[in-house]
A and B are shown apart, each in its own frame.
Chain A
Amino acid sequence: MPVITYVLPDGSEQTVDVPVGQSIMDGSVRNNLPGIVAECGGGCSCATCHVHVDEEYAALFDEPLTEETDLLEFLEGACERSRLSCQLIVTDRCDGIRVVVPDTNG
């Protein structure tokens, strides 16, 4: 099972198993990690599951749809590495990656 490292808002790191087919958001919520709030339950509606994905891992995930980029455009703390983690679906190739959870999800 893929292992994902979350760099949390306080700078600490948590490494957890996330089953293939689940999202990076699911991995955080299931393990009760701080930073990702996931108000809308993963429906690309609330933008409270914001993460930064390093360039080296960005290609592991599908390009964002307009629905997602529109939410990111004016999200506080968003940068070019920003993604909504409910849209990042884990595959076997994601084993060992790191995502950064910014302190902007409230």
Chain B
Amino acid sequence: MTHVVGDTAHAVRRVVVVGAGHAGGTFVGLLRQGGFEGDILLFGAEPYPPYHRPPLSKQFLGEERVQWLRDPQFYADQTVILGLGETVVDIDAAAQTVCTSRGITVAYDVLVLATGARPRTLALPGAAAPGILTLRTLDDAALLSQAVQSGGPLAIVGGGYVGLEVAGVARAAGVPVTVIEREGRVLSRVASPVLSEVLTDHHRAQGTEILTDAEVAGFEGDARGLSGVYLADGSRVAARAAVVGVGAVPCDELAQKAGLARGPLGGVLVDETTRTSVPGVLAIGDVTARRRPRSGAMRFESIPSAVEQAKQAAACVLGKEPPAAEIPWFWSDQLGLKLKITGILEPPYETVVRGDTADGSFALFHHRDGHLVAVEAANANAEFMAAKRILSRRQPVDPTRLGNPDVPLRELAIA
């Protein structure tokens, strides 16, 4: 990946961006901010300009679910040409052109893939019945809102962040909710065991049923709608609507066709400048697999990661110094708990609780070998920011002090 983008030997006259989500939308703005004066084209499969996806699982019941990333006139003001409801179907990397779904061929100097990810679906008996929903887009959220407002009962397949957020909102709206989680605990791949337990308790206290070690075997329903979800153990969960939240799959088919290198779990492989294996092609956001310092690659599905990559890509095109590396972080809002997580939860680690998990505010400090690994904070912004700073500065910590309320946050790091 030694191709240099944005150097004086190769003037960049046109940048084509495929995917009008958070990464693509942020990137085009940053490119103009940085002084780029060439053409910018932004193609997106959805008929909408870029919008915030986090509200879709948190505020889907009302119009607040619609939050545009930028005002509608931003793109015209910044001379960014929008091709909405138009996808790119082919890349000719040698000729440096793309072909769109409208049959138009567009030349590029730099191509930025920001095609995102789509919900994984379940190929199970009855999965085609109406009322089985996934949640990724504005249109999905509108359907979900209707389903919840019809009163449910609602089955949530998959106890991930999206599933739990939706469960919280639906339950608060008075709808009977059952979360069906295949693993032994909710959020098994992304949260600590302590946080899984705390959140499960919170959801159950609201009357949400949470089933773990429970695998869906099929759906019961007909053309009129869903009536239930069958589990592998033979039991049945009554449901008039189901939301399937079992992970996301990167939309990397276009990249595959063009021969771009992919990560071990799929996704377009990129380095810390967002360069792919093909000169002139960058990739940002949920579609990517980000190379790790020593080996391998990791997929991040978060706004902060998408924004960081948008900054990296803009710097790459502009020939500027890449931005300083950021510590990963993520947020989730469930049942009045505003969760903020920073770091990467890779075992082994030990956990120290700061505060009381039965409280509305606490922080879980996960550490290994005298350093923080990750911190999960609930309604504890100061703890979250203090942890982010410690991680960023790679400061050692004394685990015996992490949970001690008499030790101020300022003194957790060993200077």
Contact = CB atoms under 8 A, between A and B. Distances in A.
A56 B223 CA distance: 66
A75 B409 CA distance: 13
A75 B385 contact: yes
A70 B386 CA distance: 10
Interface string A47-84: 10000000000000000000100110111100000000
B349 interface: no
| Range for the number of chain B residues in contact with chain A | 20 to 34
Given A29-B70, A106-B311, A73 B303 contact: no
Q: Per DSSP, are chain B's interface residues mostly helix, strand or loop, or mixed?
A: helix
B54 interface: yes
A37 B33 CA distance: 11
A40 B389 contact: no
A91 B324 CA distance: 36
A41 B33 contact: no
Interface string A20-64: 000000000110111001011100011100000000000000000
Interface in B62-89: 67, 69-71, 74, 77-78
Contacts of A40: 54, 303, 331
B326 A30 contact: no
Contacts of B74: 30, 32
Interface residues of A, number: 20
A46 B331 CA distance: 9
Given A37-B307, A74-B389, A30 B70 contact: yes
A39 B389 contact: no
Nearest to B338: A45
B44 interface: no
A2 B71 CA distance: 19
Contacts of A75: 385
Nearest to A45: B331
Contact of B323 (A46, A70, A76, A106): A106
Contacts of B304: 39, 46
Nearest to B307: A39
Contact of B67 (A34, A41, A45): A41
A103 to B, nearest CB: 11
A41 B52 contact: yes
Interface in B30-84: 32-34, 52, 54-55, 67, 69-71, 74, 77-78
A99 B109 CA distance: 37
Contacts of B386: 73-74
Contacts of A30: 70-71, 74
Closest 5 CB pairs of A and B: A70-B381, A74-B385, A70-B382, A74-B386, A34-B33
12 contacts: A32-B74, A34-B33, A37-B307, A40-B331, A41-B67, A46-B304, A46-B331, A70-B385, A71-B381, A73-B385, A106-B308, A106-B324
